[in-house]
Chains A and B, each alone.
Chain A
Amino acid sequence: MATPVISLERTDPYHPPAAHLEILRSDAPISRVQLPDGRRLWALTRHEDVRAMLADPRFSSDRRDPRHPSHTPYVGPDHRQQLIEMDPPEHTQLRRSVVGEFTVQRLAAWRPRIQQIVDESIDAMLAGPAEVDLVEALSLPVPSKVISELLGVPYTDHDFFQDNSAEFVRADSTPEQKKAAIGNLQGYIAGLVQEKVKSPGEDLLSRQIAAGTELEELQALGFLLLIAGHETTANMISLSVATLLDKREHLAALREDPQLTVGAVEELLRYFSIAEIGAARLATADIEIGGVLIQAGEGVMGLTNTANRDPLVFPEPDEIDFTRMARNHLAFGFGPHQCLGQNLARLELEIVLATLVRRIPGLRLAVPFDEIPFKEKGPNYGVFELKVAW
Protein backbone atom coordinates (compact mmCIF):
# COMPACT_ATOMS: atom_id res chain seq x y z
CA MET A 1 0.00 0.00 0.00
CA ALA A 2 1.29 3.47 -0.85
CA THR A 3 2.23 5.66 2.09
CA PRO A 4 -0.59 8.19 2.61
CA VAL A 5 0.34 11.82 2.03
CA ILE A 6 -0.92 13.90 4.93
CA SER A 7 -1.59 17.62 4.91
CA LEU A 8 -0.41 19.76 7.81
CA GLU A 9 -3.12 22.33 7.16
CA ARG A 10 -5.87 23.19 9.60
CA THR A 11 -9.35 23.39 8.16
CA ASP A 12 -11.08 24.23 11.46
CA PRO A 13 -9.65 27.15 13.45
CA TYR A 14 -10.21 25.31 16.73
CA HIS A 15 -8.83 21.90 15.85
CA PRO A 16 -5.55 20.32 14.77
CA PRO A 17 -5.18 19.27 11.11
CA ALA A 18 -7.88 16.75 10.24
CA ALA A 19 -5.27 14.36 8.83
CA HIS A 20 -3.60 14.20 12.26
CA LEU A 21 -6.82 13.54 14.14
CA GLU A 22 -7.72 10.78 11.70
CA ILE A 23 -4.52 8.94 12.59
CA LEU A 24 -5.24 9.30 16.33
CA ARG A 25 -8.74 7.92 15.89
CA SER A 26 -7.73 5.11 13.54
CA ASP A 27 -6.64 1.62 14.55
CA ALA A 28 -3.05 2.62 13.74
CA PRO A 29 -2.25 5.67 15.92
CA ILE A 30 1.39 5.14 14.96
CA SER A 31 1.40 5.30 11.15
CA ARG A 32 3.85 5.65 8.31
CA VAL A 33 3.05 8.87 6.49
CA GLN A 34 4.42 11.10 3.78
CA LEU A 35 4.42 14.88 4.15
CA PRO A 36 3.40 17.03 1.17
CA ASP A 37 7.09 17.89 0.58
CA GLY A 38 7.97 14.22 0.20
CA ARG A 39 9.43 13.46 3.63
CA ARG A 40 8.46 9.96 4.81
CA LEU A 41 8.27 9.24 8.49
CA TRP A 42 6.32 7.72 11.33
CA ALA A 43 3.57 9.89 12.80
CA LEU A 44 2.91 9.33 16.49
CA THR A 45 -0.41 10.64 17.78
CA ARG A 46 -1.13 9.06 21.18
CA HIS A 47 -0.08 11.02 24.26
CA GLU A 48 1.66 8.05 25.84
CA ASP A 49 3.58 7.18 22.65
CA VAL A 50 4.68 10.76 21.99
CA ARG A 51 5.97 11.08 25.55
CA ALA A 52 7.77 7.73 25.40
CA MET A 53 9.48 8.74 22.15
CA LEU A 54 10.48 12.23 23.28
CA ALA A 55 11.87 10.98 26.60
CA ASP A 56 14.04 8.35 24.87
CA PRO A 57 17.48 9.75 23.95
CA ARG A 58 17.89 7.10 21.24
CA PHE A 59 15.57 9.28 19.18
CA SER A 60 18.09 11.85 17.99
CA SER A 61 17.76 15.59 17.35
CA ASP A 62 21.04 15.81 15.40
CA ARG A 63 20.21 17.30 12.01
CA ARG A 64 23.69 16.72 10.57
CA ASP A 65 22.42 13.26 9.65
CA PRO A 66 20.77 13.59 6.22
CA ARG A 67 18.08 11.10 7.26
CA HIS A 68 16.86 13.41 10.05
CA PRO A 69 13.26 14.27 9.20
CA SER A 70 13.11 17.81 10.58
CA HIS A 71 14.83 19.68 7.79
CA THR A 72 14.37 20.37 4.14
CA PRO A 73 16.76 20.90 2.57
CA TYR A 74 19.59 19.05 4.33
CA VAL A 75 21.81 21.44 6.30
CA GLY A 76 25.13 19.68 5.58
CA PRO A 77 27.74 18.05 7.82
CA ASP A 78 29.51 21.33 8.70
CA HIS A 79 26.33 22.93 10.04
CA ARG A 80 26.86 24.57 13.41
CA GLN A 81 24.45 22.88 15.79
CA GLN A 82 21.92 24.84 17.77
CA LEU A 83 20.81 23.75 21.21
CA ILE A 84 17.63 22.24 19.74
CA GLU A 85 19.71 20.08 17.37
CA MET A 86 21.97 18.48 19.96
CA ASP A 87 21.84 15.16 21.75
CA PRO A 88 23.16 14.32 25.22
CA PRO A 89 25.78 14.78 26.56
CA GLU A 90 26.54 18.00 24.57
CA HIS A 91 22.92 19.07 24.86
CA THR A 92 22.77 18.47 28.62
CA GLN A 93 25.87 20.56 29.20
CA LEU A 94 24.76 23.55 27.11
CA ARG A 95 21.18 23.48 28.37
CA ARG A 96 22.33 23.40 31.99
CA SER A 97 24.56 26.39 31.38
CA VAL A 98 21.56 28.54 30.48
CA VAL A 99 18.44 26.96 32.04
CA GLY A 100 19.24 28.61 35.37
CA GLU A 101 18.07 31.86 33.75
CA PHE A 102 14.63 30.34 33.25
CA THR A 103 13.84 28.72 36.60
CA VAL A 104 10.39 29.36 38.06
CA GLN A 105 11.94 31.48 40.84
CA ARG A 106 14.12 33.59 38.54
CA LEU A 107 11.21 34.29 36.23
CA ALA A 108 8.93 35.26 39.12
CA ALA A 109 11.24 38.25 39.61
CA TRP A 110 10.33 39.38 36.09
CA ARG A 111 6.61 39.59 36.85
CA PRO A 112 6.49 43.31 37.78
CA ARG A 113 8.52 44.31 34.72
CA ILE A 114 6.40 42.21 32.34
CA GLN A 115 3.28 43.74 33.91
CA GLN A 116 4.72 47.18 33.18
CA ILE A 117 5.50 46.26 29.56
CA VAL A 118 1.95 44.94 29.07
CA ASP A 119 0.45 48.02 30.74
CA GLU A 120 2.46 50.35 28.50
CA SER A 121 1.22 48.56 25.38
CA ILE A 122 -2.38 48.75 26.60
CA ASP A 123 -1.93 52.45 27.54
CA ALA A 124 -0.85 53.07 23.95
CA MET A 125 -3.88 51.15 22.62
CA LEU A 126 -6.30 53.11 24.80
CA ALA A 127 -4.72 56.42 23.80
CA GLY A 128 -5.46 55.83 20.09
CA PRO A 129 -8.49 54.87 17.96
CA ALA A 130 -10.78 52.29 19.59
CA GLU A 131 -9.99 49.67 16.94
CA VAL A 132 -6.56 48.06 16.44
CA ASP A 133 -4.80 45.01 15.08
CA LEU A 134 -3.98 43.29 18.35
CA VAL A 135 -1.12 41.36 16.73
CA GLU A 136 0.71 44.60 16.03
CA ALA A 137 -0.41 46.46 19.17
CA LEU A 138 0.18 43.75 21.77
CA SER A 139 0.91 40.18 20.68
CA LEU A 140 4.20 40.88 18.89
CA PRO A 141 5.63 43.82 20.91
CA VAL A 142 5.20 42.28 24.38
CA PRO A 143 7.36 39.17 23.85
CA SER A 144 9.82 41.21 21.78
CA LYS A 145 10.34 43.72 24.60
CA VAL A 146 10.59 40.97 27.21
CA ILE A 147 13.28 39.11 25.24
CA SER A 148 15.11 42.39 24.57
CA GLU A 149 15.37 43.07 28.28
CA LEU A 150 16.25 39.49 29.13
CA LEU A 151 19.14 39.56 26.65
CA GLY A 152 20.18 43.07 27.71
CA VAL A 153 19.36 44.95 24.50
CA PRO A 154 19.78 48.68 25.30
CA TYR A 155 16.53 50.61 25.34
CA THR A 156 17.60 52.78 22.39
CA ASP A 157 17.82 49.66 20.20
CA HIS A 158 14.43 48.21 21.13
CA ASP A 159 12.72 49.62 18.04
CA PHE A 160 15.35 48.21 15.67
CA PHE A 161 15.08 44.86 17.43
CA GLN A 162 11.30 44.84 17.37
CA ASP A 163 10.96 46.03 13.75
CA ASN A 164 13.29 43.36 12.44
CA SER A 165 11.65 40.66 14.55
CA ALA A 166 8.24 41.69 13.24
CA GLU A 167 9.49 41.85 9.65
CA PHE A 168 10.06 38.15 9.29
CA VAL A 169 6.78 37.07 10.86
CA ARG A 170 4.62 39.45 8.79
CA ALA A 171 2.34 37.74 6.26
CA ASP A 172 3.32 40.10 3.45
CA SER A 173 7.11 40.02 3.91
CA THR A 174 8.92 38.66 0.86
CA PRO A 175 11.49 35.88 1.35
CA GLU A 176 14.19 38.52 0.66
CA GLN A 177 12.81 40.81 3.36
CA LYS A 178 12.68 37.92 5.82
CA LYS A 179 16.23 36.91 5.01
CA ALA A 180 17.42 40.49 5.43
CA ALA A 181 15.65 40.82 8.78
CA ILE A 182 17.23 37.59 10.04
CA GLY A 183 20.64 38.82 8.86
CA ASN A 184 20.09 42.13 10.65
CA LEU A 185 19.17 40.40 13.90
CA GLN A 186 22.05 37.94 13.73
CA GLY A 187 24.45 40.80 13.05
CA TYR A 188 22.90 42.81 15.85
CA ILE A 189 23.20 40.00 18.39
CA ALA A 190 26.82 39.35 17.37
CA GLY A 191 27.55 43.04 18.00
CA LEU A 192 25.63 42.98 21.26
CA VAL A 193 27.69 40.03 22.52
CA GLN A 194 30.90 41.97 21.71
CA GLU A 195 29.48 44.99 23.54
CA LYS A 196 28.73 42.88 26.63
CA VAL A 197 32.32 41.59 26.61
CA LYS A 198 33.52 45.21 26.86
CA SER A 199 30.92 46.48 29.28
CA PRO A 200 28.99 43.72 31.04
CA GLY A 201 25.57 44.42 32.52
CA GLU A 202 23.01 42.59 34.65
CA ASP A 203 21.64 40.42 31.86
CA LEU A 204 21.65 36.92 30.43
CA LEU A 205 24.35 37.54 27.81
CA SER A 206 26.72 39.16 30.32
CA ARG A 207 26.27 36.33 32.80
CA GLN A 208 26.93 33.75 30.08
CA ILE A 209 30.13 35.54 29.08
CA ALA A 210 31.25 35.64 32.72
CA ALA A 211 30.52 31.90 32.98
CA GLY A 212 32.87 31.25 30.04
CA THR A 213 30.39 30.40 27.27
CA GLU A 214 32.10 30.52 23.90
CA LEU A 215 31.10 33.76 22.11
CA GLU A 216 30.00 32.10 18.88
CA GLU A 217 27.88 29.69 20.89
CA LEU A 218 26.35 32.60 22.75
CA GLN A 219 25.45 34.44 19.55
CA ALA A 220 23.63 31.35 18.31
CA LEU A 221 21.88 30.97 21.64
CA GLY A 222 20.80 34.62 21.73
CA PHE A 223 19.32 34.30 18.26
CA LEU A 224 17.58 31.03 19.14
CA LEU A 225 15.99 32.58 22.24
CA LEU A 226 14.71 35.44 20.14
CA ILE A 227 13.26 33.24 17.38
CA ALA A 228 11.83 30.61 19.69
CA GLY A 229 10.21 33.03 22.08
CA HIS A 230 8.79 35.74 19.88
CA GLU A 231 6.35 34.57 17.23
CA THR A 232 5.29 31.52 19.24
CA THR A 233 4.27 33.60 22.25
CA ALA A 234 2.63 36.17 19.98
CA ASN A 235 0.59 33.43 18.28
CA MET A 236 -0.61 32.09 21.60
CA ILE A 237 -1.58 35.59 22.82
CA SER A 238 -3.61 36.23 19.65
CA LEU A 239 -5.29 32.81 19.57
CA SER A 240 -6.16 33.06 23.26
CA VAL A 241 -7.72 36.51 22.90
CA ALA A 242 -9.60 35.50 19.73
CA THR A 243 -11.02 32.49 21.58
CA LEU A 244 -12.10 34.52 24.61
CA LEU A 245 -13.83 37.06 22.38
CA ASP A 246 -15.53 34.35 20.30
CA LYS A 247 -16.58 32.05 23.15
CA ARG A 248 -17.57 34.77 25.57
CA GLU A 249 -18.66 32.41 28.34
CA HIS A 250 -14.96 31.78 28.92
CA LEU A 251 -14.27 35.52 29.01
CA ALA A 252 -17.06 35.94 31.57
CA ALA A 253 -15.58 33.16 33.69
CA LEU A 254 -12.18 34.87 33.74
CA ARG A 255 -13.74 38.22 34.59
CA GLU A 256 -15.64 36.67 37.47
CA ASP A 257 -12.64 34.81 38.83
CA PRO A 258 -9.24 36.19 37.76
CA GLN A 259 -7.56 33.31 39.59
CA LEU A 260 -8.77 31.09 36.76
CA THR A 261 -6.20 32.74 34.48
CA VAL A 262 -3.44 30.25 35.29
CA GLY A 263 -5.76 27.36 34.38
CA ALA A 264 -6.92 29.22 31.28
CA VAL A 265 -3.35 29.61 30.03
CA GLU A 266 -2.63 25.91 30.58
CA GLU A 267 -5.83 24.88 28.82
CA LEU A 268 -5.31 27.21 25.86
CA LEU A 269 -1.76 25.91 25.47
CA ARG A 270 -3.11 22.35 25.38
CA TYR A 271 -5.95 23.26 23.06
CA PHE A 272 -3.95 25.08 20.39
CA SER A 273 -0.50 23.44 20.65
CA ILE A 274 0.74 25.60 17.82
CA ALA A 275 3.78 23.62 16.62
CA GLU A 276 2.07 21.81 13.73
CA ILE A 277 4.79 19.34 12.91
CA GLY A 278 5.36 18.56 16.57
CA ALA A 279 8.75 17.20 17.44
CA ALA A 280 10.79 15.36 14.80
CA ARG A 281 13.50 12.84 15.68
CA LEU A 282 15.65 10.19 14.00
CA ALA A 283 15.69 6.67 15.48
CA THR A 284 19.30 5.61 16.14
CA ALA A 285 18.34 2.07 17.16
CA ASP A 286 15.48 -0.34 16.62
CA ILE A 287 12.97 0.81 19.22
CA GLU A 288 9.51 -0.46 20.02
CA ILE A 289 6.95 2.23 20.81
CA GLY A 290 3.32 1.39 21.51
CA GLY A 291 3.68 -2.07 19.96
CA VAL A 292 5.27 -0.80 16.74
CA LEU A 293 8.90 -1.45 15.85
CA ILE A 294 10.61 1.68 14.58
CA GLN A 295 13.86 0.82 12.88
CA ALA A 296 17.21 2.55 13.19
CA GLY A 297 17.45 5.25 10.51
CA GLU A 298 13.72 5.97 10.35
CA GLY A 299 12.30 9.39 11.08
CA VAL A 300 9.47 10.03 13.50
CA MET A 301 7.32 12.98 14.39
CA GLY A 302 5.46 13.25 17.64
CA LEU A 303 2.29 15.16 16.80
CA THR A 304 1.92 17.11 20.00
CA ASN A 305 -1.17 19.04 18.87
CA THR A 306 -2.98 15.74 18.29
CA ALA A 307 -1.64 13.97 21.38
CA ASN A 308 -3.11 16.87 23.35
CA ARG A 309 -6.55 15.73 22.12
CA ASP A 310 -6.02 12.14 23.24
CA PRO A 311 -9.27 11.20 25.03
CA LEU A 312 -7.47 8.60 27.16
CA VAL A 313 -5.61 11.46 28.88
CA PHE A 314 -7.90 14.45 28.41
CA PRO A 315 -11.58 13.53 28.79
CA GLU A 316 -13.76 15.38 26.28
CA PRO A 317 -10.60 16.68 24.65
CA ASP A 318 -12.33 19.06 22.24
CA GLU A 319 -13.97 21.00 25.08
CA ILE A 320 -12.21 24.06 26.47
CA ASP A 321 -12.23 23.77 30.26
CA PHE A 322 -10.25 26.29 32.31
CA THR A 323 -10.63 24.16 35.43
CA ARG A 324 -9.07 21.09 33.83
CA MET A 325 -5.56 21.96 35.11
CA ALA A 326 -4.00 19.34 32.86
CA ARG A 327 -0.34 20.23 33.14
CA ASN A 328 0.69 17.04 31.34
CA HIS A 329 -0.06 18.52 27.92
CA LEU A 330 2.67 18.51 25.28
CA ALA A 331 2.40 22.06 23.91
CA PHE A 332 6.02 22.67 24.97
CA GLY A 333 7.16 19.18 23.99
CA PHE A 334 8.55 16.61 26.41
CA GLY A 335 11.91 15.10 27.30
CA PRO A 336 15.28 16.86 27.43
CA HIS A 337 14.31 19.39 24.74
CA GLN A 338 11.11 20.56 26.39
CA CYS A 339 10.85 24.31 25.73
CA LEU A 340 13.48 26.25 27.64
CA GLY A 341 11.34 29.37 27.81
CA GLN A 342 8.03 27.72 28.66
CA ASN A 343 7.67 29.33 32.08
CA LEU A 344 8.40 32.74 30.60
CA ALA A 345 5.71 32.12 27.97
CA ARG A 346 3.26 31.08 30.70
CA LEU A 347 4.00 34.24 32.65
CA GLU A 348 3.59 36.51 29.62
CA LEU A 349 0.31 34.85 28.65
CA GLU A 350 -1.07 35.02 32.17
CA ILE A 351 -0.24 38.70 32.57
CA VAL A 352 -1.52 39.67 29.11
CA LEU A 353 -4.86 37.85 29.51
CA ALA A 354 -5.51 39.03 33.08
CA THR A 355 -4.62 42.63 32.21
CA LEU A 356 -6.68 42.77 29.01
CA VAL A 357 -9.75 41.33 30.75
CA ARG A 358 -9.40 43.82 33.62
CA ARG A 359 -8.46 46.95 31.70
CA ILE A 360 -10.56 46.71 28.52
CA PRO A 361 -13.89 45.24 29.64
CA GLY A 362 -15.60 46.19 26.37
CA LEU A 363 -13.08 44.38 24.15
CA ARG A 364 -14.69 42.61 21.17
CA LEU A 365 -13.80 41.18 17.78
CA ALA A 366 -13.99 43.83 15.05
CA VAL A 367 -14.42 41.15 12.35
CA PRO A 368 -16.44 37.91 12.48
CA PHE A 369 -14.37 35.05 13.94
CA ASP A 370 -14.56 33.13 10.63
CA GLU A 371 -12.89 36.02 8.81
CA ILE A 372 -9.80 36.16 11.03
CA PRO A 373 -6.77 35.30 8.86
CA PHE A 374 -5.44 32.19 10.61
CA LYS A 375 -1.99 30.77 9.86
CA GLU A 376 -3.58 27.50 8.82
CA LYS A 377 -0.62 26.45 6.67
CA GLY A 378 1.83 26.43 9.60
CA PRO A 379 4.59 25.77 10.46
CA ASN A 380 3.28 27.42 13.62
CA TYR A 381 -0.41 28.01 14.05
CA GLY A 382 -1.55 31.52 14.89
CA VAL A 383 -3.21 34.53 13.32
CA PHE A 384 -1.73 37.08 10.94
CA GLU A 385 -4.03 39.86 12.09
CA LEU A 386 -6.61 40.26 14.83
CA LYS A 387 -8.82 43.32 14.51
CA VAL A 388 -10.39 44.17 17.87
CA ALA A 389 -12.41 47.13 19.10
CA TRP A 390 -13.82 48.40 22.41
Chain B
Amino acid sequence: MRIVAQPDRCVGAGQCVLVDPEAFDQDDKDGTVIVVRPRPESEAEIARAKEAVNVCPGRTLSLSVED
Protein backbone atom coordinates (compact mmCIF):
# COMPACT_ATOMS: atom_id res chain seq x y z
CA MET B 1 0.00 0.00 0.00
CA ARG B 2 1.26 3.43 -0.88
CA ILE B 3 0.20 6.98 0.11
CA VAL B 4 -0.27 9.14 -2.97
CA ALA B 5 -0.30 12.94 -2.69
CA GLN B 6 -1.29 15.57 -5.23
CA PRO B 7 0.52 18.58 -3.71
CA ASP B 8 -1.06 20.97 -6.25
CA ARG B 9 -4.39 20.42 -4.47
CA CYS B 10 -2.90 20.81 -0.98
CA VAL B 11 -4.20 23.67 1.18
CA GLY B 12 -1.46 23.38 3.80
CA ALA B 13 -3.76 22.74 6.75
CA GLY B 14 -1.37 20.18 8.23
CA GLN B 15 -4.11 17.75 9.27
CA CYS B 16 -2.07 14.80 7.99
CA VAL B 17 0.87 15.89 10.17
CA LEU B 18 -1.40 16.00 13.22
CA VAL B 19 -2.61 12.48 12.46
CA ASP B 20 0.84 10.99 11.79
CA PRO B 21 3.91 13.21 12.12
CA GLU B 22 6.13 10.27 11.19
CA ALA B 23 4.47 9.83 7.82
CA PHE B 24 3.82 13.45 6.82
CA ASP B 25 5.56 16.80 6.88
CA GLN B 26 4.86 20.22 5.35
CA ASP B 27 6.96 22.36 3.06
CA ASP B 28 8.44 25.24 5.08
CA LYS B 29 7.57 27.85 2.48
CA ASP B 30 4.07 27.06 1.24
CA GLY B 31 2.89 24.50 3.78
CA THR B 32 2.14 21.81 1.15
CA VAL B 33 2.35 18.14 2.04
CA ILE B 34 5.51 16.06 1.93
CA VAL B 35 4.99 12.33 2.34
CA VAL B 36 8.05 11.19 4.29
CA ARG B 37 6.94 7.58 4.79
CA PRO B 38 4.83 6.62 1.78
CA ARG B 39 4.43 2.93 2.67
CA PRO B 40 2.45 2.26 5.82
CA GLU B 41 3.23 -1.24 7.08
CA SER B 42 1.84 -2.02 10.51
CA GLU B 43 -1.89 -2.06 11.10
CA ALA B 44 -1.59 1.13 13.16
CA GLU B 45 0.31 2.88 10.36
CA ILE B 46 -2.30 1.83 7.82
CA ALA B 47 -5.10 3.05 10.11
CA ARG B 48 -3.38 6.44 10.46
CA ALA B 49 -2.83 6.66 6.69
CA LYS B 50 -6.56 6.06 6.17
CA GLU B 51 -7.41 8.69 8.75
CA ALA B 52 -5.10 11.20 7.08
CA VAL B 53 -6.85 10.58 3.75
CA ASN B 54 -10.22 11.05 5.46
CA VAL B 55 -9.42 14.34 7.21
CA CYS B 56 -7.48 15.98 4.35
CA PRO B 57 -9.43 19.19 3.56
CA GLY B 58 -7.91 19.54 0.07
CA ARG B 59 -8.69 15.93 -0.85
CA THR B 60 -5.01 15.74 -1.72
CA LEU B 61 -4.24 12.29 -0.36
CA SER B 62 -5.25 8.83 -1.47
CA LEU B 63 -4.12 5.26 -0.89
CA SER B 64 -2.98 3.09 -3.76
CA VAL B 65 -2.79 -0.68 -3.52
CA GLU B 66 -0.34 -0.78 -6.44
CA ASP B 67 3.38 -0.21 -6.04
Complex partner residue of B26 from A92, A104, A327, A336, CB under 8 angstroms: A104
Measured between alpha carbons, how far is A262 from B30 in the docked complex, in Å?
Answer: 26
Residues of A within 8 A of B43 (CB): none
Q: Is the interface of B mostly helix, strand, loop or mixed?
A: loop
If A327-B55, A343-B18 touch, does A100 touch B11 (CB 8 Å cutoff)? no
Q: For residues 20 through 59 of chain B, which have their beta carbon under 8 Å from a beta carbon of chain A?
A: 21, 25-32, 51, 54-55, 57-59
Distance (whole angstroms) from the CB of B10 to the closest CB of chain A: 9
Distance (whole angstroms) from the CB of A332 to the closest CB of chain B: 8
Complex partner residue of B18 from A102, A327, A336, CB under 8 angstroms: A327
Measured between alpha carbons, how far is A327 from B19 in the docked complex, in Å?
Answer: 8
Determine if B57 and A335 form an interchain contact, defined as CB atoms under 8 angstroms apart.
Answer: yes
Q: Does A105 contact B (CB under 8 A)?
A: yes
Residues of B within 8 A of A327 (CB): 15, 18-19, 51, 55
Determine if B30 and A55 form an interchain contact, defined as CB atoms under 8 angstroms apart.
Answer: no
The contact string, 1 if C-beta is below 8 Å from chain B, for chain A 15-57, is: 0000000000000000000000000000000000000001100
| Residue from B14, B29, B30, B57 with most neighbouring chain A CB atoms (10 Å) | B57
Determine if A100 and B57 form an interchain contact, defined as CB atoms under 8 angstroms apart.
Answer: no
Residues of B within 8 A of A346 (CB): 18
Determine if A100 and B58 form an interchain contact, defined as CB atoms under 8 angstroms apart.
Answer: no
Determine if A338 and B31 form an interchain contact, defined as CB atoms under 8 angstroms apart.
Answer: no
Complex partner residue of A336 from B11, B21, B31, CB under 8 angstroms: B11
Using C-beta atoms within 8 Å of the partner chain, give the interface range for chain A. 20 to 34
Complex partner residue of B31 from A103, A335, A337, CB under 8 angstroms: A103
Determine if A328 and B55 form an interchain contact, defined as CB atoms under 8 angstroms apart.
Answer: yes
Determine if B58 and A336 form an interchain contact, defined as CB atoms under 8 angstroms apart.
Answer: yes
Determine if A100 and B28 form an interchain contact, defined as CB atoms under 8 angstroms apart.
Answer: yes
Q: Output the nearest chain B residue to A54 by Cβ-Cβ distance.
A: B57
Residues of A within 8 A of B11 (CB): 92, 95, 99, 335-338
Determine if A99 and B31 form an interchain contact, defined as CB atoms under 8 angstroms apart.
Answer: yes
Determine if A103 and B12 form an interchain contact, defined as CB atoms under 8 angstroms apart.
Answer: yes
The contact string, 1 if C-beta is below 8 Å from chain B, for chain A 333-373, is: 11111110011001000000000000000000000000000
Q: Is the interface of A mostly helix, strand, loop or mixed?
A: helix
Measured between alpha carbons, how far is A102 from B58 in the docked complex, in Å?
Answer: 16
Complex partner residue of A328 from B26, B54, B58, CB under 8 angstroms: B54
Determine if A103 and B51 form an interchain contact, defined as CB atoms under 8 angstroms apart.
Answer: no
Determine if A338 and B57 form an interchain contact, defined as CB atoms under 8 angstroms apart.
Answer: yes
Q: Output the nearest chain A residue to B25 by Cβ-Cβ distance.
A: A105
Q: Does A97 contact B (CB under 8 A)?
A: yes
Residues of B within 8 A of A338 (CB): 11, 13, 57
Residues of B within 8 A of A79 (CB): none
Measured between alpha carbons, how far is A334 from B60 in the docked complex, in Å?
Answer: 12
Q: Does A96 contact B (CB under 8 A)?
A: yes
Determine if A96 and B30 form an interchain contact, defined as CB atoms under 8 angstroms apart.
Answer: yes
Residues of A within 8 A of B13 (CB): 99, 332, 338-339, 342-343
Chain A contacts to B: CB under 8 angstroms: 54-55, 92, 95-97, 99-100, 102-106, 327-328, 332-339, 342-343, 346
A–B complex contacts, Cβ < 8 Å, 26 sampled: A55-B57, A55-B58, A95-B11, A99-B11, A100-B31, A103-B12, A103-B28, A104-B14, A104-B18, A104-B26, A105-B25, A106-B28, A327-B15, A327-B18, A327-B51, A328-B51, A328-B54, A328-B55, A333-B57, A334-B57, A335-B11, A336-B58, A337-B11, A338-B11, A343-B13, A343-B14
Q: Identify 20 new A-B residue pairs, CB closer than 8 A, beyond the known A100-B26, A335-B58.
A: A95-B11, A96-B30, A96-B32, A97-B30, A99-B31, A100-B27, A100-B29, A102-B12, A102-B31, A103-B14, A103-B17, A103-B26, A105-B17, A105-B25, A327-B18, A327-B51, A333-B57, A334-B57, A343-B13, A346-B18
Closest 8 A/B residue pairs (Cβ): A99-B31, A99-B12, A96-B30, A338-B57, A103-B26, A104-B17, A104-B14, A336-B11
